[in-house]
Amino acid sequence: MSQYRVLIDANDEKGLVHKVSSVFYNNDLNILSNNEFVDKENNKFFMRSVVDGDIDAKELKTFIQNVLPKNSGVDVIEPDKKNIIIMATKEMHALGDILIRHEAGELEANILAVISNYNDLGSLVGKFDIPFIAISHVGLDRAEHENEVLKCLENFKDIDYIVLAKYMRILTPRFVEVYENKLINIHHSFLPAFIGANPYKQAYDRGVKIIGATAHFVNNHLDEGPIIAQEVIHVDHAYSWKDMQRSGKDVEKVVLSRALKLALEDRIFVYANKTVIF
């Protein structure tokens, strides 16, 4: 008996649920959970099923592909720990939350390494017997530094996700392309939004009553990739901008961990610069 997560992403047409469920039925598979969504505007069909039964993953995938329109996306995934790399800079909150969850066995993940452009986090990471790799950007231009990071990443096979846990450097399109839909970032979010340096100071000056955080996949437009999760907290006039920043950290870590968990459980579809999450 094996358990599989079946992910389907197709152009919508009549009968898709029927055809896929026929494959499950004819192969005597149990449906443990099932979610579908049709985006009428983009004419796209999404389905995530968790099934168990006696069948080979490749075989199941082929059966499903055979009943779907050409060019449909089909994934048949055995639930297993995914390989993740964490990239961070100096801040401890988002990284620390992931390390503790990992230690507690909450995450379906192997943390292959933590990479930083500073040494500061080495002590924390070292406590958890996880490789810490510092790649300083000092004396290097953006491309040179990124080259170093990319070379380092090549040492790791089968990276499923790279989590940017407050990695404070902008990635170039080349980097983003190599790890398309594998880069999960967290950034603060405000109503209204603030662009440029020290957004918490700007938010403070603006007198916002809410601060938030957004976890998203990274595309070539900074902070504009497909959104995975968002959360906010209330603040008031008595918050200095440093208080806001401190409170913002609590939201950031919660939202990043939530997004990571969704990714590790194969619950996210990405398309049209947005996400469907089951």
Residue positions annotated with a catalytic role: 223
**CB nearer to its own copies: pick between 1 and 238:** 238
- Residue 138 — φ and ψ, nearest 5°? -65, 130
User: Site mask, its own copies, residues 23-62, x = CB under 8 A?
Assistant: -xx--xxxxxxxxxxxxx----------------------
227 sits near its own copies (criterion: CB under 8 A):
yes
- Asked if residues 89 and 245 have their Cβ atoms less than 8 Å apart, the reply is no
- Which of 57, 67, 77, 124 contacts its own copies by CB under 8 A? 124
Q: Closest Cα to residue 177, out of 141, 220, 222?
A: 220
Query: Closest separation between CB of residue 264 and its own copies, Å?
Result: 13
**CB nearer to its own copies: pick between 149 and 253:** 253
Q: What is the dihedral of CA 132, 138, 140, 143, to 10 degrees?
A: 50
**CB nearer to its own copies: pick between 75 and 223:** 223
What gap in Å lies between CA 47 and CA 116, rounded to an integer?
37
Q: Closest Cα to residue 80, out of 265, 261, 273?
A: 265
173: alpha, beta or left? (left if phi > 0; alpha if psi -120 to 50): alpha
- Asked if residues 263 and 161 have their Cβ atoms less than 8 Å apart, the reply is yes
190 sits near its own copies (criterion: CB under 8 A):
yes
- Which of 3, 65, 128, 148 contacts its own copies by CB under 8 A? 128
184 sits near its own copies (criterion: CB under 8 A):
no
HSE-up of residue 219 (Cα within 13 Å, Cβ side) = 10
Query: Closest separation between CB of residue 155 and its own copies, Å?
Result: 26
Site for its own copies in 232-261 (CB under 8 A): 232, 234, 236-238, 240, 246, 250, 254
Query: Closest separation between CB of residue 194 and its own copies, Å?
Result: 9
Point out which span in 20-28, 63-71, 131-139, 175-183 binds its own copies (CB under 8 A): 20-28
